Amino acid sequence: MKKKKLIYLLTVFLLIIPFLSYADGNRFVVVIDAGHGGKDPGAIGKIINEKKVNLGIALKLGEMISKNNPDVKIVYTRKTDVFVELQERASIANRAKADLFISIHTNSAKSKSAFGTETYTLGLARSEENLEVAKRENSVILLEDDFSTRYEGFDPKSTESYIMFEFIQDKHMEQSIDLASTIQKQFRSAAGRNDRGVRQAGFLVLRNTGMPSVLVEVGYISNASEERFLASKEGQTKIARSIYNAFCDYKAGYDRKQGRIYNKTDNAKNNKETAGKNIVPVSGTKKTQNNTDEQTKTRQIVYKIQFMTSTAYYGKKSSRYKGLSPVSCYKENGLYKYTCYEASDRNDLQKKLTEVRKLFKDAFIVGFKDGEKLK
């Protein structure tokens, strides 16, 4: 009897472990947004329309996540062929208090030879091509009632309307770019797709979301070969699998930064971050010398709290730091990443991390050795 009871308790414990990994008792929430739908077909192909491709991939992605990640809650902006207003898609994510937003779209171009995948984060379009993609995706608001009032006079066809995105400071920029980069890597390595890179543009659906967000263009429906691939079950599965693998990488890194456990059997590879170089001192700290080789080796590893990421360099003193001092920063992948406090023992920063998160909720601890960020 005791043996049966022990087996029962062990089974229950193993089943609830994934949910115990979150201190607040909530599951990780990902919103999957199948672009277009209903009266809005999106890009029109010869054998299939964009709205159907997007939905097929979104449902397959959601199925993969739910099957292998019991600690993840999936919210869809649509699961059928219905029209959902652009602003409502973002509102669905915000109401769900999502940790991640993935919007799936299919590209189109005047050139029939254009092909490949690209993943967007929020920002100012630096090229005419990126701007045209944003204009096309944002034009869906023209199908909405009273869109001018709802979107505060934003004209999706006017280039001037997109100037506003130059001044947007997205606090989730780093996480969004990390996920976008991983998605593109998976497209290239796992699905053999042409990698058109990570890009930025002024997408309204990303502007209104309050969490790390990406918009994935899975291929060109205007290219006959790609259209056949995207219309097929095999093609949609390959695309969904690539995004799923990237999601697992992202979530593993997210859990690690939050100090939470995660299931390594979820097909999630360890999140490998490029070692940070080009250290940019904002305010210097003195190094202490040690007498023995072992002490010197220990002192080489320094832990800091990273609290903010930006495309801009703010210098030694800035109101953006909200009183944190001293502050230093390092440059990685074209972004300035700001840190505060430091200690040779990671555990010594836990109390400080709690304080910093009251000002910057996404702050986390990062380690450096000999001036380079630990992987």
Q: What is the pLDDT of residues 16-55, one digit of tens each?
A: 444 444 433 478 999 999 999 999 999 999 999 999 999 9
| Per-residue confidence (pLDDT) for residue 282, from 0 to 100 | 52
Q: What residue ranges do the domains of the chain occupy?
A: 2-257, 277-373
Buried b (16+ CB within 10 A) or exposed e, 269-279: eebeeeebeee
Q: 247 and 30 in contact (C-beta within 8 Å)?
A: yes
| Per-residue confidence (pLDDT) for residue 285, from 0 to 100 | 40
Low-confidence ranges of the chain (pLDDT < 50): 3-4, 7-25, 262-281, 283-298
Q: Bin 220: left if φ > 0, else alpha if -120 < ψ < 50, else beta.
A: beta
Q: 30 and 74 in contact (C-beta within 8 Å)?
A: yes
Q: What is the pLDDT of residues 195-208, one digit of tens each?
A: 999 998 888 899 88
Q: What is the pTM of this model?
A: 0.67
Q: Is 228 exposed, middle or buried (0-12, 13-18, 19+ CB in 10 A)?
A: middle
| Per-residue confidence (pLDDT) for residue 165, from 0 to 100 | 74
| Per-residue confidence (pLDDT) for residue 274, from 0 to 100 | 32
The three-class DSSP label of residue 354 is: helix
CATH topology of domain 2-257: Aminopeptidase (3.40.630)
| Per-residue confidence (pLDDT) for residue 174, from 0 to 100 | 84
Buried b (16+ CB within 10 A) or exposed e, 211-221: bbbbbbbbbbb
| Per-residue confidence (pLDDT) for residue 229, from 0 to 100 | 96
| Per-residue confidence (pLDDT) for residue 260, from 0 to 100 | 63
- Give the residue from 347, 368, 259, 355 showing the smallest Cα distance to 304: 368
| Residue 318 CB neighbours (<10 A) | 16
Place of tokens 């109101």: 319
| Per-residue confidence (pLDDT) for residue 280, from 0 to 100 | 46
DSSP-assigned letters across all residues of 157-205: T-GGGGGGGGG---TTHHHHHHHHHHHHHHHHHTS---EEEEEEE--HH
| Per-residue confidence (pLDDT) for residue 345, from 0 to 100 | 85
- Give the residue from 198, 238, 234, 230 showing the smallest Cα distance to 216: 198
Beta strands in the chain (DSSP E): 28-34, 72-76, 100-107, 117-122, 195-201, 213-220, 277-280, 301-310, 327-332, 335-343, 364-369, 372-373
Question: Are the folds of 2-257 and 277-373 the same?
Answer: no
Selected from 3.40.50.360, 3.20.20.70, 3.30.70.1070, 3.40.50.1820, the CATH number assigned to the domain covering 277-373 reads 3.30.70.1070
